[in-house]
């Protein structure tokens, strides 16, 4: 279906009336076209294998079964009044329902808005109010978080939120059961395939709205088209020579760009088998690699170290010969991790760098040396460009640190309802300022050296520093607060709250985390260390010099023991 006038207007409106400064990958087909082709040609092949940690059980769905479920859910969404261009919000762990929902949402030309499972009332409210999503679909309970109760409360207080559904039976009466509405009625019989096909989006239509932690005091909604997402998925299979015969395992949440693009979109584009873990357990991961003959997986460095540790400690010998590559991003790969992965997992680590805004931009090659994998973040993909800029936006020579700018086919199209932030991050020539500091080597490899953005990356999870600090400042015992990252061998960084007390009795770490808990802040964003100071280092203009705090804290162990949420 060609892009209609309304869609073009929406695209222009979202971009603030401006055309994109760099054209996305020019493809007319989308994940819907690719998926329906696999439904026809690979009907009996396993499409998704879902592992449920609580019951230690497996659900397997073939392409034929998944195709029928996608059509069923798509027609049910139409019955609820969802129209092309609408935004549908979902919050759930990795499971077949996640993929089926995204495919169904895309099938009717709507846009998927995934919320990461750790988000609570505060963050979820901001996203749902900003997007005006008419539908919110959640897992009833994830760990200790009762998302169905949260959804019910949000439903009562957000006028634009018309329907809330929960997968599972633990939900208030105001929340409708997902299975009863979406799955137990043969909705597909009420709509001809041709009618559904007429709603298919083209490559320029919006496909995903993903909110990422920002430093401006609010999350930023990264808006991707089907083309930019498709371009983002290309790097892994092209460089690593993956095809329909490969088996993907995804333990990173599919509500993050890593899981969404490479655990959901990539397998459905290529017709692969995808294996999902709804909770991380390295022992289960080893078993799934063996049983499902997994060939490729991706996650932050802690996943690799955990898997290696599990392989060392288990009494069971697993056959991991199928696992060709373990791709890592979010933090530098320690040299010893490369050797551990080779010895205990029998696999090669692949380094990547990317963002929610553009997916994988740089990647190392299977033929790269261990030293190259550990000392760089790979080389830019052919359809992505990177440059290192100095203070006057001049190009810096190889080996010189500067601001990392990128552009290319997988670049996002705007920040949702914040074209000002989009424009501020892009120059007139279309280069996107990533907020990272880096340098390029003589042979064109990238190395991230730091961040100009005020964020902490804990186990691959971006911590919204400004939001956490804003809540800490409201504690009666806090006069000044700074949240900084300190090095951690497993998670790369943990948050440390550096506090100037408001009175003689300083707050304890428990008091601060209780305060954050009452504000409904996700536990993974809480500080895990506490430093009490009489003063904070500042510039003459009064700005806190966080780099000094980071240097001091990195040089010694914190005064308070770590508290892991």
pLDDT tens across 378-418, in order? 999 999 999 999 989 999 999 998 999 999 999 999 999 99
Residue 450 has pLDDT above 90, yes or no: no
Question: Could you tell me the pLDDT band of residue 539, with boundaries at 50, 70 and 90?
Answer: low
Q: What are phi and psi of 363, to 5 degrees?
A: -155, 145
Please enumerate in sequence order all residues whose Cβ is within 8 A of that of 311, keeping only pairs 6 or more positions apart, or say none. Answer: 286, 318, 320, 344, 345
Residue-wise pLDDT tens digits, 126-162: 999 999 999 999 999 998 899 999 999 999 999 999 9
Please state the pTM of the whole predicted model: 0.83
d(CA 483, CA 5): 47
Mean pLDDT value of segment 424-439: 91
CA nearest to 273, candidates 397, 409, 96: 96
Higher pLDDT pick, 447 / 545: 447
* The predicted structure's pLDDT at residue 542: 60
* The predicted structure's pLDDT at residue 469: 84
CA nearest to 48, candidates 236, 277, 298: 277
By mean pLDDT, which of 3-7, 353-357, 482-486 is the weakest? 3-7
Higher pLDDT pick, 20 / 392: 392
CA 31 vs. chain centroid, Å, equals: 18
Domains of the chain: 31-44+62-225 (3.40.50.980), 456-554 (3.30.300.30)
Residue-wise pLDDT tens digits, 183-200: 999 999 999 889 999 999
What would the 3-class secondary structure string for 141-183 be? CECCECHHHHHHHHHHHCCCCCEEEEECCCCCCCCEEHHHHHH
- CA torsion, ordered 15, 19, 24, 27, to nearest 10 deg: 100
Q: 332-336, 427-431, 509-513: which has the highest mean pLDDT?
A: 509-513
* The predicted structure's pLDDT at residue 463: 83
What tokens does 92 get? 């759930």
Classify residue 25 by its DSSP letter. P
Q: Check the CA dihedral 173-179-180-182 and report its sign.
A: positive
By mean pLDDT, which of 24-28, 342-346, 434-438, 492-496 is the weakest? 24-28
Residue-wise pLDDT tens digits, 73-99: 999 999 999 999 999 999 999 999 999
* The predicted structure's pLDDT at residue 2: 31
Residue 437 has pLDDT above 60, yes or no: yes
What would the 3-class secondary structure string for 89-123 be? EEECCCCHHHHHHHHHHHHCCCEEEECCCCCCHHH
Q: Check the CA dihedral 376-377-380-385 and report its sign.
A: negative
What tokens does 397 get? 């020579």
Residue 43 has pLDDT above 80, yes or no: yes
Burial of 541 (0-12, 13-18, 19+ CB in 10 A): exposed
Average pLDDT, the chain: 89
Residue 565 has pLDDT above 60, yes or no: no
Residue 216 has pLDDT above 70, yes or no: no
Higher pLDDT pick, 471 / 412: 412
CB atoms within 10 A of CB 8: 11
């Amino acid at each position: 279906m060609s892009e209609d006038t309304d869609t073009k207007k929406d695209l222009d409106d979202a971009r603030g009336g401006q055309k994109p400064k760099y054209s996305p990958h020019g493809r007319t087909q989308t994940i819907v076209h690719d998926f329906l082709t696999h439904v026809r040609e690979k009907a009996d092949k396993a499409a998704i294998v879902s592992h449920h940690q609580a019951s230690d059980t497996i659900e397997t769905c073939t392409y034929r079964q998944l195709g029928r479920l996608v059509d069923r859910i798509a027609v049910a969404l139409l019955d609820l009044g969802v129209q092309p261009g609408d935004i549908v919000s979902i919050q759930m762990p990795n499971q077949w329902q996640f993929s089926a929902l995204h495919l169904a949402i895309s099938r009717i030309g709507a846009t998927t808005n995934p919320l990461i499972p750790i988000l609570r009332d505060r963050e979820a409210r901001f996203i749902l109010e900003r997007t005006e999503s008419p539908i919110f679909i959640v897992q009833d309970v994830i760990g200790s978080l009762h998302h169905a109760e949260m959804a019910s409360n949000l439903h009562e207080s957000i006028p634009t939120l018309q329907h809330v559904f929960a997968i599972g039976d633990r939900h208030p009466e105001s929340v409708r059961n997902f299975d009863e509405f979406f799955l137990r009625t043969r909705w597909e019989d009420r709509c001809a395939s041709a009618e559904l096909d007429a709603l298919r989006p083209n490559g320029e239509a919006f496909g995903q709205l993903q909110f990422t932690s920002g430093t401006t005091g609010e999350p930023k909604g990264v808006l991707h088209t089907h083309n930019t997402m498709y371009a983002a998925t290309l790097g892994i299979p092209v460089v690593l020579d993956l095809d329909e015969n490969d088996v993907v395992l995804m333990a990173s949440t599919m509500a993050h760009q890593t899981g969404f693009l490479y655990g959901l979109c990539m397998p459905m584009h290529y017709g692969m088998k995808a294996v999902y873990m709804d909770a991380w357990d390295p022992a289960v991961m080893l078993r799934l690699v063996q049983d499902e003959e997994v060939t490729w997986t991706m996650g932050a460095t802690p996943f690799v170290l955990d898997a290696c540790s599990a392989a060392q400690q288990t009494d069971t010998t697993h056959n991991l010969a199928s696992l060709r590559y373990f791709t890592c991003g979010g933090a530098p790969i320690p040299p010893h991790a490369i050797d551990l992965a080779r010895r205990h997992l029998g696999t090669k680590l692949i380094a990547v760098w990317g963002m929610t805004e553009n997916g994988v931009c740089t990647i190392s090659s299977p033929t790269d040396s261990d030293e190259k994998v550990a000392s760089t973040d790979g080389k830019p993909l052919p359809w992505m460009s990177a440059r290192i800029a100095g203070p006057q936006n001049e190009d810096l020579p190889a080996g010189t640190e500067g601001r990392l700018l990128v552009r290319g086919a997988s670049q996002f199209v705007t920040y949702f309802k914040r074209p000002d932030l989009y424009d501020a991050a892009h120059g007139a020539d279309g280069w996107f300022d990533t907020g990272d500091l880096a340098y390029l080597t003589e042979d064109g490899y990238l190395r991230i050296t730091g961040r100009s953005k005020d964020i902490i990356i804990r186990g691959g999870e971006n911590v919204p520093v400004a939001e956490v600090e804003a809540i800490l400042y409201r504690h009666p015992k806090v006069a000044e607060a700074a949240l900084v990252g300190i090095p951690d061998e497993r998670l790369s960084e943990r948050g440390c709250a550096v506090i100037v007390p408001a009175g003689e009795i300083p707050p304890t770490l428990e008091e601060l985390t209780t305060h954050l808990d009452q504000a409904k802040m996700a536990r993974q964003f809480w500080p895990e260390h506490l430093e009490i100071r009489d003063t904070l280092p500042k510039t003459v203009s009064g700005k806190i010099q966080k780099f000094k705090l980071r240097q001091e804290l990195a040089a010694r162990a914190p005064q308070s023991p770590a508290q892991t949420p």
